[in-house]
Amino acid sequence: MPDNASPVRQPAPPASSTALEREVADLIVQALNLDVTAAEITPDAPLYGEGLGLDSIDILEIALVVSKHYGIQLRADSEENEHIFRSLRHLVDYIAAHRTK
């Protein structure tokens, strides 16, 4: 760690993670025809309810797009969904770990 780096600072995400975040944010904006740009989606803000303000139908639409685009099987009855769709960053982490495309 450089001498001038603050120990409280979070390390920068790997470039591939940042690129995937932008890509997934773009998919969300396009799939839901949102009135925000992908750059306006804060990676740690909640997707559901407060934050981006999505509802369960929006989340289902995102799940379908992500499934098709990345070859991931997301199930509506999965107990992991609350964690997966907590934020853009959680969704991207899940995609990075499970993608087949």
Question: pLDDT (tens digit, 0 to 9) for every residue of the chain, 101 residues total?
Answer: 455 554 554 444 455 568 999 999 999 999 999 999 999 999 999 998 888 889 989 999 999 999 999 999 888 888 899 899 999 999 999 999 999 88
In a domain, 31, yes or no: yes
In a domain, 82, yes or no: yes
Q: What is the pTM of this model?
A: 0.80
In a domain, 7, yes or no: no
- How many domains are contained in the chain? 1
- Farthest CA pair distance, the chain: 48
Following DSSP, what letter does each residue of the chain receive, concatenated?
Answer: --TTS-TTSPPPPPHHHHHHHHHHHHHHHHHHT-SS-GGGS-TTSBSBSSTT-B-HHHHHHHHHHHHHHH-----TT-TTHHHHTSBHHHHHHHHHHH---
In a domain, 10, yes or no: no
Enclosing domain of residue 94: 15-98
In a domain, 2, yes or no: no
pLDDT given at position 48: 87
In a domain, 51, yes or no: yes
For residue 68, what is the domain's CATH number? 1.10.1200.10
pLDDT given at position 25: 96
